[in-house]
Each structure stands twice: as C-alpha cells, then as structure tokens.
Amino acid sequence: MNSVARILVVEDEPAMAAGLDYALKKEGYDVECVGDGEAALASLRRSSPDLVLLDVMLPRRSGFDVLAALRRDGRSVPVILLTAKGQEIDKVQGFDLGADDYVTKPFSLAELLARIRARVRRRASEVADVPDVLELGPTRVDLKRMRIERGGELHELSLREVDMLKLLWRERGRPVTRERFLEEVWGHERFPTTRTVDQHVVKLRQKLEVDPASPRFLLTAFGVGYRLEV
C-alpha cells in the first residue's frame, strides 16, 4: 500500500477484538478498536477510516443502528458486518442499510483479510479516479451529496446507485458486465440476479436522462451490460 489504510474495528468481545487488532496490524493497517455502538459513532465523528469492521450485536447501540447513522450522514466508507447470526433476514437488513459485505462467525481469518484487501483497494481506486461531481450534458451528478440535478429537478441517489455510477465512470466508454456490477457493487453473499442490475439501471436512467427511453449517456451494451458515454 502506498499509504497506510485505517480500519475501525467495532467488536465487544475482548478476545475477538484483540485477535483482529493483532492480525490487521500484522497486515500493515492502522487499527482502532472500540467496544460499543456509541464509541463507534464517536470515532466516526472524529475521523474517516478506510473501512469499518462492525459487529452487529453491540452494547448501547447495535451495529445496525451504527450503520444506519453512518449512511444517513452520507458516509460511503466500506462496512463489513461481523455477526454470529446466520439468518437470511439479518443479512438482508444489513445490505438494505448499506453494508458492503457480511461475514458470519466463526469465520476464516484468511478469507476476512482477503475481503478487507479487496475493499481497501477498491476504496483507494474510487477516491483516486472518480471526481465528486460528474457533468453529463445538462445533468449534474453530485456523488458526494448523493443527488442529481437536471433541468431544475433534484433526484436523490441511493448508495447502490452511487457505487454503480462510480464503476461506470471508471470504465467510461467501455462496457461493464452485469456480473461485474454484482461482484463490485453488491459484493459477496448477496441475493440479486442480473435482473436486479437491469432494474437499477432503469431507475438511474429516469434520474440521469432527459429521455430515459432514448438514453444519451447510460447506454446498453447488448449482450454484455452497460456503458457510460461522456
């Protein structure tokens, strides 16, 4: 890594927190560990980590509460949820709140570290390569404020839509496959199909395009996926 990535670990089990702290520091990360939801929010108000490892079952405020507050503030920092729960409803709730990945305890440390490396690399690439504001003809896309302005109209963007636009921008002019959207935007252990990508593109076109039925910027790459023309 060119610079040291900072990871916030939110875990109330002392042995687990100590193990993660040791393993992550051994990998070269700058690590802060806190033991409850309120301490996590306080840390996030003070600084901006490159990734958050967030236990769901926490004292004072749950991991879901912390994640919801983080996303309400417009913070797009990657979040990997850690939980002993394996029920599908918990995964769905986490993803709906804006989690990037989900690891069920007990987990493989090697797999967790691999997922962290992938998320940190992707985060660094996004920060370096994508501007905060994209100008697409009469359409102004403010990724930082998560909204689109076009013709006096204001459209709010979801975190998923922001991530899709970032990927499209990095590959502008080149097709992005539906499978790549699922891998890089939805991540591991998701439940969508390629049809989910198509549905999100329809919604994005309604916000981006003057005439969504005849798009100018977000185009279909037939048989492949979609591409962004600028």
For the CA atoms of 72, 205, 122, 111, the dihedral, rounded to the nearest 10 degrees, stands at: 80
Give 217's strand partners.
none
- Per-residue pLDDT in tens (0 to 9) along the chain, 230 residues: 346 788 999 999 999 999 999 999 999 999 999 999 999 998 888 777 889 999 998 998 999 999 998 888 767 788 999 887 666 667 788 888 888 888 888 888 998 998 898 888 777 766 656 788 999 999 999 988 899 999 889 999 988 899 899 989 988 888 989 888 887 787 644 566 888 899 999 999 999 999 999 999 999 999 889 999 98
- What are the structural domains, with CATH classification, of the chain? 6-128 (3.40.50.2300), 131-228 (1.10.10.10)
Report if pTM > 0.85: no
Give 154's strand partners.
149
Count of residues for the chain? 230
pLDDT value of residue 100: 87
- Sign of the Cα torsion 30, 36, 37, 39 reads negative
The tokens of 50 are what?
Answer: 């490159």
